[in-house]
């Protein structure tokens, strides 16, 4: 898988992780920071290596906790060089799907199968619950607005 995409996914994973964690750390300060809408580079590696306190975990919803686990798992896979491969069929997961759900373990087809077998497979939606895998739009930075 190409490095650029890998970096993009990694950044997105860390962003999602930061979003969840920051809600519980230094709440007010965080709100200010997020409110500033600044896209300045942050210390992503720090966030990636953040450990969870019991207090933090107590305050997370199950969905958030599950998402965090999937994010960490995906980051681990990036480190091991196996990221972006469907765990079920071994095929590469298409880029639009990875961009929409960077922590997904499966390609769309297998995700459906897994969901059917295991009941609700949680991590097919984002933290905000707004991602619809059927309706993925690829972001194209090279296309400007007319």
Query: Which region, judged by CB under 5 A, interacts with Zn ion, from 5-13, 38-46, 63-71, 99-107?
Result: 99-107
CA torsion 108-112-118-123 (nearest 10°) is: 40
Q: Does 88 contact Zn ion by CB under 5 A?
A: yes
CA distance 133 to 146: 28
The CB-of-138 to Zn ion minimum distance in angstroms stands at: 19
Q: Does 89 contact Zn ion by CB under 5 A?
A: yes
In the DSSP assignment, the letter for residue 89 is T
The CB-of-84 to Zn ion minimum distance in angstroms stands at: 11
Residue 30 vs 88, nearer CB to Zn ion? 88
Q: Which residue has the tokens 């290596």?
A: 49
The CB-of-109 to Zn ion minimum distance in angstroms stands at: 6
Residue 76 vs 91, nearer CB to Zn ion? 91
The CB-of-63 to Zn ion minimum distance in angstroms stands at: 23
CA distance 8 to 139: 12
CA distance 63 to 41: 27
Task: Select the residue interacting with Zn ion from 70, 102, 110, 123 (CB under 5 A).
Answer: 110
Residues in contact with 134: Cβ distance below 8 Å, sequence separation at least 6, in sequence order: none
φ/ψ of 91, rounded to 5, equals -85, 160
Residue 14 vs 110, nearer CB to Zn ion? 110
Positions touching Zn ion (CB under 5 A) are 86, 88-89, 107, 110
């Amino acid at each position: 898988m190409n490095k650029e995409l890998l970096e993009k996914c990694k950044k997105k994973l860390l962003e999602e992780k930061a979003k969840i964690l920051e809600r519980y750390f230094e709440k007010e300060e965080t709100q200010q920071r997020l409110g500033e809408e600044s896209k300045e580079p942050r210390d992503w590696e720090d966030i990636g290596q953040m450990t969870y306190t019991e207090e933090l975990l107590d305050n997370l919803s199950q969905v958030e906790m599950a998402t965090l686990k999937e994010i960490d798992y995906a980051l681990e896979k990036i480190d091991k060089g196996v990221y972006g491969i469907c765990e079920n069929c071994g095929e590469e997961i298409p880029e639009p799907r990875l961009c929409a759900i960077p922590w997904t373990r499966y390609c769309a087809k297998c995700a459906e199968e897994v969901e059917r077998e295991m009941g609700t497979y949680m991590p097919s939606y984002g933290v905000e619950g707004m991602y619809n895998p059927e309706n993925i739009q690829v972001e194209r930075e090279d296309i400007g607005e007319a």
